[in-house]
Structure formats: structure tokens, C-alpha cells
Amino acid sequence: MLSKHDNELITRVGPGTPMGELMRRYWLPALLSEELPEPDCPPIRLRLLGEDLVAFRTTSGRPAVLDTWCPHRNANLFWGRNEEEGLRCVYHGWKFSADGACVDMPNEPARSKFAEKIHQPAYPAVDKGGFVWVYMGPPEHTPEVPHFEWLDVPSDQRNVHKRFQDCNWLQNLEGEVDSSHAPFLHGSVGPGGIQPYNANSDRQPVFEVLETDFGAAIAARREAGPEQFYWRITPFMLPCYTIVPRARDTNYIWTAAVPIDDLTMFGMTVIWSPDKSVGRTPVVETDASFRARQTKANDYLIDRQLQKTESFTGIRGVRVQDMAVQEDQRGPLSDRSREHLGASDLGVIATRRLLLKQLKALQKGQEPKQPHSPEVYHLRSLALNAARETAWQDLMREHMRLGAGVQT
Ligand code: FES
Ligand SMILES: [Fe+2]
């Protein structure tokens, strides 16, 4: 559990909040690059960390993100004309460059110097790996985009996906680091009751956690015969990223919980392979606004008969099963003071502890190191059988990062 005070601290991300300030030290994947398909394409609405923004692609092809409220008389720049390296407000024609400079003010006298005094808030944005990344923090602390492995693979070796979730971002992140839910929430039932998950029937994993240079490594150990353990090691990468351990020979899955505001989020997922094409099957069926067909409003199309005979939940789709539980944990923003955490919640506890530690340090003026160490994000998750005497910390140091090992 968390105190009500810490629950507020860790979940709320608007401007000026402690978690919001921490999030603003990191680049975030804010859009799919294809949402801005070509130079001078229509601008789109973007809400990120509780701020209303407008995104557009300039004539020279660079993505740009501005505060959406025109500094003249607060019209919405979403209606704007995207033309010649800038966005022009349709109300009185003021025009802004990608950097927020007011480059034209056609309704003021020609010799007026007023435009030079106007600056629209603008955030740096770059295309990388199929996403537009945005940095909303202090310019003097601008970091590099983290060096995830999938950013470098050919585009047919990654499948980039985005979906809307009707809950606070932390509920999604906690689901990603919580390995003990999988055999239940994503499990199947048969005549003998609940079935083995990923060929392993141990439903009481022993958890261990280690703080690392990227955040925390969360290890779940399961029995695998007399001589071996089955280890699943999930990296939690600050501030909102994970890599799901893959079942044998399947692809890696990277996730990001990106806050729209305190009560809604986008879940970004990248399925990737270092050596082969991965196809384009969507992670969840969504409409043009990235909303799933199965939602809270239609009970995720739960099938109670299926729940009796085949599926633990009766809800179709692994991601939708996650959404069903995450979008309503006593509502869209869970009251963690009312929880009862057990030994299997160690990963969740470690994730919260690390986020709270970083945001409290930042409140005291200590900047986080991770945003300025892009190389520590060059990771894979691990899922493997190993001799019982092998220490998982050694497995992680050796196999989780290619090249230099993980520092703990
Ligand atoms: S409100 Fe935008 S130009 Fe007047
Ligand atoms: Fe899940």
C-alpha cells in the first residue's frame, strides 16, 4: 500500500506536480510518426502530461509541438493553417515557427515590433523508431532519446502500436511489472481447472528485485524440474518503460505508459525481433482515435460461457484482459492506501519505491542520471531455464545488455 499522500505524489503528472516534473526530465513517445504523414499535413491535437498541445510537421519535414492556445486571444491552433515552416492561427493570422517564434503578425501595423515580444511555448520533438518523441522539461537539462535496441532494427523487424487507456498511467505500468498475474488473468481453464501457462505450472513465483543503472530488474523464479529454475527477468526502465520476457522464440515486447493526463493514458507497444521480420498484426483492434473496440462501456464483450469452459476471464485478447483490470481499480486512479500487498507484489513495490525516490530527490534539486545515460536503455528481457545454483544477478549482468553488462 501507499499513504494517500504518496499515492497523490506518484500518480499526478500535470505541470508543477512532483511526478510531472520527473516525467518532464525524460523524452516521451507522444505520437506515432505516421500521425503526421507528410510535410505540411494537417495539425493534430496532442494532450501530454495534462497539457493541451498541437503537433504538426513543417515544410522541411520536422515534427513540431506547440502549446495549442494562441497567445493573442486564446484561439485553438488546432484549426491553424500549416504552411511554410509554421502554423498560422485562423482567427487573426498570427504565425508561429516550430520553435514558437511569432514570425508573422499580419493584423498589426507593418512597422510594429510586437511580434518579437511574443513567444509561444514549444517543445523539442524528433522522429525515431516510428514514434514522435517529445521533451517537455527545462531546456538546460535536455537529454538524448534513450537508446532502445528496437530503434536500430529495420522497420519490418518492429511493429509499433498505440492504444488509449481509460486510467492513470501507473495502473498500466504496475501491470507490466507484475509477473504473477499472467497465469490467472491471461490463463485458460480446462477440465482439471486452471491450465499451465507458457508450459510452466508453478503459479507461486518467488520474486527478487535489484536496483540497476536503468531502474530495477524484477526477477520471478519458478520451479522447472529437479535441477533447474525457470527465470523471467523484467527490466523496469525509468520512468515508464518495460520489456516483457518473451516465451520461447517469440518476439520481444517493449511497453510505455504515456500519461495524457492524470486519468487517461496511451499505451505504446513495440514488438520487435533482432533478426527477423515481425509482421503487422495489431496488439489490440482500435479505431482511428486508438480506442479499442472492447471497452469499459461494453464490459470488454466478456463471454461468461467462455469463462466457465476455456478462458480464465472470458475476455478475448491478452491486452484487453489487462485493460479490463487496469481501467477500474476502484476507478481510473487507484487508492493505493486500501491495498493489501503480498510477497508476489515485490516488483510493484520496487517500481513505486524507485519512482518516489527519484521524484523526492528531484524535489531537493537532484537531477536523475538516467536521462543522460541513453546507453543504459539498450536492453532485452530474459526468460530462461538455468541450473538451480546459478545466481540470477549473473544471468542478468551477462545477458540483459549486449556489450557492457548491467551495473547494479
Ligand atoms: S487568436 Fe490567434 S491570431 Fe488572434
Ligand atoms: Fe498482463
102 lines ligand 1 (CB under 6 A): no
Same domain for 89 and 183: no
Do you know the residue count of the chain?
Answer: 408
Q: Which ligand is nearest to the CA of 107?
A: 1
pLDDT digits (tens, 9 = 90+) for 92-122: 999 999 999 999 999 999 899 999 999 999 9
CATH code: domain of residue 74: 2.102.10.10
Give the pLDDT band of residue 201 (cuts 50, 70, 90): confident
User: Is 12 within a domain?
Assistant: no
User: Is 21 within a domain?
Assistant: no
User: Is 351 within a domain?
Assistant: yes
Q: Which of 92, 108, 114, 120 to mutate to test the pocket of ligand 1 (most atoms within 8 A of CB)?
A: 92
Same domain for 155 and 120: no
According to the model, what pLDDT value does residue 352 have? 98
81 lines ligand 1 (CB under 6 A): no
Average pLDDT over residues 313-342: 97
According to the model, what pLDDT value does residue 185 have? 96
Same domain for 348 and 312: yes
66 lines ligand 1 (CB under 6 A): no
According to the model, what pLDDT value does residue 290 have? 97
User: Is 71 within a domain?
Assistant: yes
CATH code: domain of residue 243: 3.90.380
pLDDT digits (tens, 9 = 90+) for 330-362: 999 999 999 999 999 999 999 999 999 999 999
Same domain for 201 and 120: no
According to the model, what pLDDT value does residue 204 have? 87
- Separation of CA 328 and ligand 2 centre (Å): 15
User: Is 10 within a domain?
Assistant: no
Same domain for 199 and 337: yes
pLDDT digits (tens, 9 = 90+) for 168-177: 999 999 999 9
According to the model, what pLDDT value does residue 172 have? 98
Same domain for 130 and 76: yes
Average pLDDT over residues 73-100: 98
Domain stop point among 134, 167, 198: 134
- Mean model confidence pLDDT for the chain: 95
Ligand 1 atom 3, closest CA: 92
78 lines ligand 1 (CB under 6 A): no
Q: Which of 77, 79, 89 to mutate to test the pocket of ligand 1 (most atoms within 8 A of CB)?
A: 89
Same domain for 155 and 130: no
Same domain for 228 and 100: no
pLDDT digits (tens, 9 = 90+) for 32-62: 999 999 999 999 999 999 999 999 999 999 9
Same domain for 221 and 120: no
Q: Which of 54, 69, 72, 81 to mutate to test the pocket of ligand 1 (most atoms within 8 A of CB)?
A: 72
Whether 78 shows a pLDDT value over 70: the answer reads yes
Same domain for 340 and 269: yes
User: Is 267 within a domain?
Assistant: yes
* Residue span of the structural domain in which 242 resides: 149-399
Give the pLDDT band of residue 299 (cuts 50, 70, 90): very high
> Is pLDDT larger for residue 130 or for residue 402?
130
Q: Total structural domains in the chain?
A: 2
75 lines ligand 1 (CB under 6 A): yes
Among the residue ranges 130-144, 246-260, 369-383, the one predicted with the least confidence is 246-260
Q: Which atom of ligand 1 is nearest to the CA of 73?
A: 1
- % of the chain exceeding 70 in pLDDT: 99
User: Is 161 within a domain?
Assistant: yes
User: Is 310 within a domain?
Assistant: yes
Domain stop point among 106, 134, 162: 134
Same domain for 129 and 161: no
- % of the chain exceeding 90 in pLDDT: 88
Same domain for 393 and 258: yes
According to the model, what pLDDT value does residue 403 have? 66
- Separation of CA 329 and ligand 2 centre (Å): 15
Q: Which of 66, 67, 70 to mutate to test the pocket of ligand 1 (most atoms within 8 A of CB)?
A: 70
79 lines ligand 1 (CB under 6 A): no
